[in-house]
Amino acid sequence: MGEYSVLIGGKAGEGINTAGLSIAGLFSRLGYRTYMYFDYPSLIRGGHNFAIIRASERTIGAHRTPVDVLLAFDQNSIENHRERVHDGTTVIYDASQAVKAEGYGLPLDTILEEEKAPPITGNSAMLGALARVAGIGREVLEDVLRTTVPEKHLEANLRVAGRGYDAAGEVFTVEPLDAPALPVLTGNEAAGLGLVHGGLDSYVAYPMTPSSNLLHFLARHAEDLSIKVIHPENEIGVIQMALGLAYAGEKTAVGTSGGGFCLMTEGLSLAGMSEIPVTIVMGQRPGPSTGMPTYTAQGDLHFVLNAGQGEFPRLVVAPGDLEEAYAWSATALMLSWRYQVPAIVLTDKALAEGACSFDVGAVAPPPDHEPVLWDGAGEYRRYARTESGVSPLAFPGREGAVVKVNSYAHDETGFTTETVKGVTALQEKRFRKGESLKAELSTYPAVKTYGARDAGTTIVCWGSEKWACIEAAEEFGARVVQPLVLAPFPARQWKEAMIGAGRVVCVENNATGQLALLLRQQGFDPGHPVLKYDGRPFAVDELEARLGEVFA
């Protein structure tokens, strides 16, 4: 068998996410490519958390419904996932919680008491039992624990894992692959590393799911990455501080979700008028208002495309996996500074908090662009009119330069103006920048395609639904077309990609077909909608069933 799926479930506070990442690491150590979907309610304690870890011989980026092993800390983990259990599923459960199931029962309370280990180490017992069931050697198990568990807790975890290993029996064998063991990262971590690759100096954010972990990751590694990480009091403070840092010459990014982005829109307009570059990582989740803060959605596309008052150019990109999150976060930051426009990296909970094997060698490095800087000749004019619309930058403290930025309509030096000629010239300058940005993006892979051009059936998707669509397309011999850049929309590349598209369906995680609406606005037919709006991403088999209804 070249593919395995494992589900681990329990209460919030029991370390299910960490345990899931350890399971992914176990398979990764054997050369498998992994994907982890993490599902949890907005609770600090209690509720039901679970992670599905899928391992395969090939690259994957989505989960399937059936599981081969179910690790249950409580009865809810059995009851809530009965549809995932099949004849070949092995259940491993905590026998000390009176879980009713057939399989391997681990007396976790007894094990932890005898080993004098803290409750959280029960995850290691489950991991040990999984390794034994999957025919994975104890040495591999211990190696994974040594690389993931802090030194002060390592010995207790090793002992507990050994007890779990001894309590189970081998059911199948996961054969090692002749492939490198890739690190397992979340989308947030890949995006953060991409921002650093793009020249990030400062990251400013207020915690908001699903972008909170991006703040935590960059803060934890700030010294190693040579960046500053700042946590202001709210999202309004975030965007204003970021603009101040950028005005002073710091390449700055911020992170948020829909509710926080609402508060940032006035600052976004300020960036548009004052031509201060800023990159915003916007992780989508269901709304309106607080919605379901720990679940996923693709419902903010048109909000992001149209946020802010007035008219000004912006860059909006929507990566679909870790490699794209890395490359396009770097690209967005660099292009934001090159063209002095706000850039938005649009992710969602499934991508931001989902974890995958990350192959940095598969990332095509983006072109290394530096901003256009003032050469020091003559009087400095912050908003000098140029053919490209881009004015050379100088920063406060530069000898001979008075750097005046303005939220009002302004002339070339930054002084307020309301004259017909001055206001018209300013608006035309901004839109020349937008056209220059669009022209450069025509040289980037702004639209990706998968499958044969003559397939006769095409699945259109964006963002984190990419890999579910790629796998489902194989079932129907279909082609997949995915836009990575959503503003300025790459109309020419899209038109070329859709030649011979045949029957078209548009797969989205929203209720209104927001990509479909954008395509219609650009003059393209988006085909038949296939929508999901319950806060969960498509499982591959679920999407195959939905597509089967359309293609029948």
What SS3 string covers 307-344? CCCCCCCCEEECCCCHHHHHHHHHHHHHHHHHHCCEEE
Please report, as a single letter, which amino acid is at residue 88.
G
Pairing of strands 104-106, 90-94: parallel
Q: Is residue 393 part of a domain?
A: no
pLDDT value of position 368: 86
What span, in angstroms and rounded, lies between the C-alpha atoms of 347 and 353?
A: 10
Residue 70 exposed, middle or buried by CB count within 10 Å (0-12, 13-18, 19+): buried
Question: Could you tell me the CATH number of the domain that includes residue 263?
Answer: 3.40.50.970
Looking at the structure, tell me whether residues 283 and 193 fall in a common domain.
yes
pLDDT value of position 502: 96
- Residue-number span of the structural domain to which 142 is assigned: 3-167
Looking at the structure, tell me whether residues 195 and 58 fall in a common domain.
no
Mean pLDDT per 10-residue interval, the chain, length 552 residues: 92 90 95 97 90 97 98 96 96 92 94 93 96 96 91 93 96 95 97 98 98 98 98 98 98 98 98 98 97 98 98 98 97 98 98 96 87 95 97 96 96 97 97 97 97 95 98 97 98 97 98 98 97 98 97 86
What span, in angstroms and rounded, lies between the C-alpha atoms of 253 and 279?
A: 5
What span, in angstroms and rounded, lies between the C-alpha atoms of 386 and 370?
A: 17
- Nearest CA-CA partner of 182 in 57, 319, 64, 350: 57
Looking at the structure, tell me whether residues 205 and 144 fall in a common domain.
no
Looking at the structure, tell me whether residues 233 and 163 fall in a common domain.
no
Those residues whose C-beta lies under 8 Å from the C-beta of residue 214, and which sit 6 or more positions away, are: 188, 189, 191, 192, 203, 205, 255, 281, 283, 352
Q: Is residue 382 part of a domain?
A: no
Looking at the structure, tell me whether residues 192 and 50 fall in a common domain.
no
What span, in angstroms and rounded, lies between the C-alpha atoms of 498 and 38?
A: 34
DSSP 353-405: H-EEE--GGGS-PPP-----B--S-SS--TT---SSSPPPB--TT-TT-----
Q: Is residue 424 part of a domain?
A: no
473 CB neighbour count, 10 Å cutoff: 23
Looking at the structure, tell me whether residues 350 and 480 fall in a common domain.
no
Is the C-alpha dihedral spanning 409, 413, 419, 420 positive or negative? negative
Is the C-alpha dihedral spanning 173, 177, 180, 185 positive or negative? negative
Looking at the structure, tell me whether residues 136 and 260 fall in a common domain.
no
Please report, as a single letter, which amino acid is at residue 216.
H
Q: Is residue 426 part of a domain?
A: no
- Nearest CA-CA partner of 467 in 448, 485, 453: 448
Please report, as a single letter, which amino acid is at residue 395.
F
Looking at the structure, tell me whether residues 134 and 199 fall in a common domain.
no
pLDDT value of position 316: 98
Q: Is residue 177 part of a domain?
A: no
Listed residues 298, 330, 362: the one ending a domain: 362
pLDDT value of position 404: 96
pLDDT value of position 1: 57
What span, in angstroms and rounded, lies between the C-alpha atoms of 533 and 524?
A: 24
Confirm if 358 and 193 have CB atoms less than 8 A apart: no
Looking at the structure, tell me whether residues 137 and 200 fall in a common domain.
no
Pairing of strands 228-230, 252-257: unpaired
Which phi and psi (to 5°) does residue 145 adopt? -65, -40
Those residues whose C-beta lies under 8 Å from the C-beta of residue 502, and which sit 6 or more positions away, are: 455, 456, 457, 458
DSSP-derived secondary structure letter, 176:
P
Listed residues 362, 386, 419: the one ending a domain: 362
Structure confidence by residue, pLDDT tens digits, 484-500:
999 999 999 999 999 99
Q: Is residue 473 part of a domain?
A: yes
Note if the bond before 210 is cis, omega within 30 degrees: yes
Give the count of alpha carbons within 13 A of 174, CB side only. Answer: 29
Looking at the structure, tell me whether residues 456 and 327 fall in a common domain.
no
| Degrees, nearest 5: CA angle 548-2-145 | 120
Looking at the structure, tell me whether residues 218 and 161 fall in a common domain.
no
- Nearest CA-CA partner of 353 in 269, 399, 294: 294
Listed residues 338, 362, 386: the one ending a domain: 362
550 CB neighbour count, 10 Å cutoff: 15
pLDDT value of position 46: 84
Query: How many structural domains compose the chain?
Result: 3
User: In whole angstroms, how far apart are CA 305 and each of 235, 344, 485?
Assistant: 19, 9, 11
Please report, as a single letter, which amino acid is at residue 268.
L
Tokens of 5: 């799926």
Q: Is residue 109 part of a domain?
A: yes
Those residues whose C-beta lies under 8 Å from the C-beta of residue 367, and which sit 6 or more positions away, are: 331, 334
Q: Is residue 531 part of a domain?
A: yes
Looking at the structure, tell me whether residues 501 and 455 fall in a common domain.
yes
Question: Could you tell me the CATH number of the domain that includes residue 106?
Answer: 3.40.920.10
